[in-house]
Structure 1
Amino acid sequence: MKNIIALVLAVLVTGCTSVPEGVKPVTGFELSRYLGKWYEVARLPHSFEEDLQQVTADYRLKDDGGVRVLNRGFNVQTEQWEQAEGKAYFVQSPDVGHLKVSFFGPFYGAYVIVELDKDHYRYALVSGPDREYLWILAREPQLDDGIKQSLVSKARQLGYATEQLIWVQHSNDATAAKTNP
C-alpha cells in the first residue's frame, strides 16, 4: 500500500511540473536576463487571477539560487491590490526555460517558457503544466500587435484555446497610480 501511495504522489507532483505534450521549453535560456519586472499582457482564465487587471510579475534571484516570484494585480471587484509571493527552481538545467513554481508550501506547478525574445528578452509566451494555463508577458504594459499575433498564432498551433484569452488592462490613470505602492 505504501508503494501505491508513493507512486500516486510521485505522479501528482511530476504531472504538475511536466511540460504539456508537444510543447518544448526554450533552450539557451539566461535567467539573469529574465529577472525583473514583467507585465501580463494576456492569460487564459483561471480562478486565482479572476477579476485582476494591471497584473505584473517580478522575478528576483534568491540566495539559494532559486527565483523569488512576486505577482501583483488590481482586483476590479474589491478595488484592492492583491499579491502572491512564491519561489521557482529549474526542473532541468538552467539553460532550459522550464521551472517549477510554488505559491503553496511544497506544491509546485510547471512554468514553461514556450517562446522568448532571445535578443532582448522583451516578451515571452509561458505555459503551465497543461494547455489550461497560458500567459503572454512583456517588459512593457503594451506589446506590438504583430508580436501579439505571432505569439497567439504559436499558442493556437500548440493547441491552446486562444479564443479564450483575457487581454489584461494596464491603467495609467491617477486613481490607480495613487493606490499602487
Structure 2
Amino acid sequence: MRHLRQLLLCLPLLLLAACTSVPEGITPVSHFQLDRYLGKWYEIARLDHSFERGLSDVSAQYRLQADGSVEVVNRGYSAEKGAWKEAVGKALMTGDATQGSLKVSFFGPFYGGYHIAALDEQEYRWSLVVGPSRDYLWILSRERHLPPEIREQLLAKAKQLGFDIGQLIWVGQDRPDA
C-alpha cells in the first residue's frame, strides 16, 4: 500500500515530465545556438490547437532574459474579436545547450516541449518545431512567407517524422505588425 501511495504522489510529476519529452523517433537538431534563434519568427503552418484556433498573422518573439531564460511572446490576430491576442511565456533549455530542445510555459509551473526537428543551420531563416507528441507541429520562418522549395522540404521532413501534414493549417500573414 505504501508503494502505491508513493506512485500516486509521483504520477503528476511523471506526467509533467512527459509533457516536455521529445516524441519517439525524433531527434532535435544539434549544433544549436540559442543566441541565433532569438528574435522574431512568423508562423507559416501549424497543427490546430485551441490556444491558437482562429488566429492569423501569428508570430513569436524570443528574448534572452538576465537569468538565462527566454521570454516568449506569442501574438496573433483574431478576426472574430477584431483584435490582437497575446500570450507571454518563458522557455528554458533542456539538457545539452547545443541541442535544439527547450521547454516552454505559459501557465506557471506547467511546461511543454519545444523541439526543433529541422533548422536552416546556415542562416536560421526557418525551422520545424515539434511538441511533446505528434499532435504539435509548427513551421516557422523569419519572413512572412517561405520559398516553395523550402516549404516542400519541410513538409517532406514532417511527413517522414510521422506527422499528418494534411491536417496543417496554413497561417495567413497579411496584416502589418501592430
TM-score range, shorter chain: over 0.9
Provide the residue aligned with 1:142 in structure 2.
145
Provide the residue aligned with 2:169 in structure 1.
166
CA distance in 1: counterparts of 2:9 and 2:132, whole angstroms: 21
What are the residue-to-residue correspondences of 1:22-171 with 2, within 5 Å?
22-171=25-174
Tell me the SS of whatever aligns to 1:140.
Answer: coil
Shift of 1:42: 0.3
CA distance in 1: counterparts of 2:173 and 2:92, whole angstroms: 29
> TM-score when scaled to structure 2?
0.95
1:41-61 Cα offsets, whole Å, 9 max, x none, are 000011100000000000000
Residue 35 of structure 2 aligns with an amino acid whose one-letter code is S
Shift of 1:11: 1.4
CA distance in 2: counterparts of 1:54 and 1:103, whole angstroms: 20
1:29-71 Cα offsets, whole Å, 9 max, x none, are 0001000000000000111000000000000001110100000
Residue 13, structure 1, aligned to residue 20, structure 2: no
Residue 119 of structure 1 aligns with an amino acid whose one-letter code is Q
CA distance in 1: counterparts of 2:64 and 2:52, whole angstroms: 24
> TM-score when scaled to structure 1?
0.94
Equivalenced residue count is 175
- Residue segments in structure 1 that go unaligned for 5+ positions in a row: none
Amino-acid identity (%): 50
Which aligned segments of 4 or more residues in structure 1 are displaced greater than 3 angstroms? none
- Residue segments in structure 2 that go unaligned for 5+ positions in a row: none
Residue 142 of structure 2 aligns with an amino acid whose one-letter code is R
The structure whose residues are more often helix, as a share, is 1
CA distance in 2: counterparts of 1:10 and 1:78, whole angstroms: 37
Q: CA RMSD in A?
A: 1.0
